[in-house]
């Protein structure tokens, strides 16, 4: 059994990705089995999702702030806060970082997407908490899943065309 990473398309589908034989307890960081529901070291109960991450940056949130959300927060961020889980924005945080990564100002070429997705993977691995729910745009699900597979993750779509209820 491997640790899991869930991908949720912001317009709909979710993929499950696995890598490795152990994961970190989100409370004490002791290495535990992926199927463990209680940490042997600290005794705390472990939920299915240990962290939430998304294809988002604070810069983007500031530019396109939704009026019903607190400034600098997204729906996945609020969900993580409510669940008491860490939340990570995985997009390059600013123009300077995108320039350093070689992402063009418009950032919409296939090469730009590859660089952006490699950066997401790097951020998820730095976060190191699995299982993790990762929310991303629909145009990236297939290519990012392929990158994760190449990196040793097992991907599986577990829900298609999900939309939140209003």
What's the predicted TM-score (pTM) here? Answer: 0.74
More confident residue, 110 or 5: 110
Question: What is the band of 126 on the pLDDT scale with cuts at 50, 70, 90?
Answer: very high
Instruction: State the pLDDT at residue 9.
Output: 53
Could you tell me the two tokens for 15? 């993929």
Closest CA relative to residue 49, chosen from 113, 135, 144: 135
Instruction: State the pLDDT at residue 138.
Output: 76
């Amino acid at each position: 059994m491997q640790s899991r990473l869930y991908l949720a398309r912001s317009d709909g589908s979710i993929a499950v990705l696995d890598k490795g034989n152990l994961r970190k307890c989100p409370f004490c960081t002791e290495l535990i089995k992926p199927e463990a529901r209680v940490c042997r070291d600290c005794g705390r109960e472990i939920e299915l999702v240990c962290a939430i991450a998304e294809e988002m940056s604070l810069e983007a949130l500031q530019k396109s702030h939704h009026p019903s959300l607190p400034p600098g927060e997204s729906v996945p961020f609020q969900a993580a806060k409510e669940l008491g889980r860490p939340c990570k924005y995985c997009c390059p945080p600013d123009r300077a970082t995108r320039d350093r990564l070689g992402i063009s100002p418009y950032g919409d070429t296939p090469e730009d997407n590859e660089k952006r997705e490699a950066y997401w993977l790097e951020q998820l691995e730095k976060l190191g908490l699995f299982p993790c729910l990762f929310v991303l745009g629909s145009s990236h699900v297939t290519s990012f899943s392929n990158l994760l597979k190449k990196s040793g993750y097992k991907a599986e779509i577990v829900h298609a065309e999900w939309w939140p209820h209003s």
